[in-house]
């Protein structure tokens, strides 16, 4: 069960989010500002932080900087009443994972949270071994015996995602969301191009095959692990 930290100075918003997240099966922790949130993080492992910007004592931007400066990479979904593009860009530069404006659409918030948590889960795993094939997330490399390839970032993430869940079908929209992000202008064509490049790169690998599922998307089929 994932643990979520809600950092928000408005009591009624904290209560709403606590109700919604608890109903969805999350463990919920609450903080009124960044200072209180840091104290919670000292004693409690948190999977994702929902963070407001405008708060007393330590605002959202200061809080993100504080975390990232000491290499704490807990995923952050920033939720704020501020609509200025500059605020959004500043958040991403500091290291947030996604951004929503208030009033929050809780259904969209849950979808964004799930996407962030899935990406975090993949990143935490770091390595995949499939027969004689090894994927290393930190170096973006795929190795099979003496054959070692370093992939472009998006190609690697796409292959890593598919190989993390063999036989599972992913729609193009799911792949666009998880690899490029919900705010990306990536199209179906971009996903198709990356899939075709991966197929060409690894057509000689007998361990797996990337299969198109008509009308749905793509999946990886394990063919031979010897």
| Residue 116 burial by Cβ neighbours in a 10 Å radius (0-12, 13-18, 19+) | buried
Q: Is the model's pLDDT at 183 over the cut of 70?
A: no
Q: Return d(Cα 47, Cα 49) in angstroms, integer.
A: 7
Predicted local confidence at residue 224, as pLDDT: 62
- Give the tokens for residue 119: 């990406």
* Orientation angle between helical segments 34-43 and 60-69, nearest 10 degrees: 30
Of 56, 106, 98, the closest CA to residue 77 belongs to 98
Q: Is the model's pLDDT at 83 over the cut of 80?
A: no
Predicted local confidence at residue 180, as pLDDT: 78
Question: Does the model's pTM come out above 0.85?
Answer: no
Predicted local confidence at residue 182, as pLDDT: 55
Predicted local confidence at residue 187, as pLDDT: 66
Q: Return d(Cα 117, Cα 119) in angstroms, integer.
A: 5
pLDDT in tens, 103-126: 899 999 999 999 888 877 766 767
| Domains and their CATH numbers in the chain | 3-122 (3.40.50.2300), 126-222 (1.10.10.10)
Predicted local confidence at residue 123, as pLDDT: 65
Bridge partners (DSSP) listed for residue 27: 3
Mean pLDDT along residues 194-217 = 93
pLDDT in tens, 122-138: 667 678 888 899 999 88
Residue 226's pLDDT band (cuts 50, 70, 90): very low
| Residue 46 burial by Cβ neighbours in a 10 Å radius (0-12, 13-18, 19+) | middle
């Amino acid at each position: 069960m994932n643990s979520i930290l809600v950092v928000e100075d408005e009591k009624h918003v904290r209560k709403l989010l606590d109700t919604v997240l608890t109903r969805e099966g999350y463990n919920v922790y609450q903080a009124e500002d960044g200072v209180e949130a840091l104290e919670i993080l000292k004693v409690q492992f948190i999977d994702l932080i929902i963070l407001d910007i405008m708060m007393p004592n330590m605002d959202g931007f200061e809080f993100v900087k504080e975390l990232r400066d000491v290499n704490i990479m807990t995923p952050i979904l920033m939720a704020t009443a501020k609509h200025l593009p500059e605020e959004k860009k500043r958040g991403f530069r500091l290291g947030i994972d996604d951004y929503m404006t208030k009033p929050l659409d809780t259904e969209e918030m849950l979808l964004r949270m799930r996407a962030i948590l899935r990406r975090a889960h993949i990143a935490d795993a770091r390595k995949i071994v499939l027969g004689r094939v090894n994927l290393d997330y930190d170096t973006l490399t795929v190795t099979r015996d003496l054959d070692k390839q370093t992939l472009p970032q998006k190609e690697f993430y796409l292959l890593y995602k598919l190989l993390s869940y063999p036989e599972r079908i992913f729609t193009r929209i799911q792949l666009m969301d998880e690899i490029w992000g919900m705010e990306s202008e990536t199209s179906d064509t971009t996903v198709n191009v990356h899939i075709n490049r991966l197929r060409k790169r690894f057509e000689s690998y007998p361990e797996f095959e990337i299969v198109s599922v008509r009308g749905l998307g793509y999946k990886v089929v394990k063919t031979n692990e010897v």
